[in-house]
Amino acid sequence: MRISASTVAAHRFGVVRRRGYDPAEVDAAMERVSDTLHEYEQLTARLEEQLQAQNEPTEAIRRTFEAAERTKEEMVQEGAAEAERLRQQAERDIATMVESAWAEAAQIRSEAEAEAAELIGRASHRLDIAEREAERRLLQAEQRSAESQMAAESSLEETKQEKETAVADAEAAAE
């Protein structure tokens, strides 16, 4: 049977004639016990509310972390897709230029060979630039994601420590 402030306050002892306790003293002691239990019940309720309130930010941090993770994944995918698009476009550009060079080579072979070499060099340079830009964007996205993740983990750790401190304080107070 669980003892609560109300069960202590409502309990009555039988009257004993010989060697019994003074009813007034027993009543006073029971009232003190009831009051103390009532205080502990209120303290427990407050601590439970505080613990619940501390759990809510943890959930928000978890959701933020998940959103950051999704954003990171989206950014990586977008960066990879952009790099692929740029590569394909560069390949299409090169193919077009090469076809043009071959058509001109049929008419003016010497000029076409010189022009084709120049066009291929420029296309290769554009491809190098595009690849470096895509890599730079990907690195930036990874860096932002890592920073977001570190911030979320740090915040989560602080929340955990605050929670553990509150629980330890509550346990110490309960003892």
Q: How far is 158 from 139, CA to CA, in rounded Å?
A: 28
- Spell out the domain ranges in the chain: 21-174
From residue 168, give the alpha-carbon distance in Å to each of 36, 151, 154, 156, 171. 21, 26, 21, 18, 5
| Residue ranges in the chain assigned as alpha helix (H) | 5-10, 23-107, 109-174
Q: How far is 129 from 143, CA to CA, in rounded Å?
A: 21
Reduce the DSSP state of residue 22 to 3 states and report it: coil
pLDDT of residue 6: 73
Nearest to 151, CA basis, from 72, 81, 55: 72
Tokens matching residue 101? 């060079």
pLDDT of residue 18: 64
Tens-digit pLDDT profile for residues 67-113: 888 888 888 888 888 888 888 998 898 999 889 877 876 787 877 67
Confidence of residue 13 (pLDDT cuts 50, 70, 90): low
Q: How far is 67 from 97, CA to CA, in rounded Å?
A: 44
Tens-digit pLDDT profile for residues 31-60: 888 888 888 889 888 888 887 777 676 777
Residue 1: pLDDT above 60? Answer: no
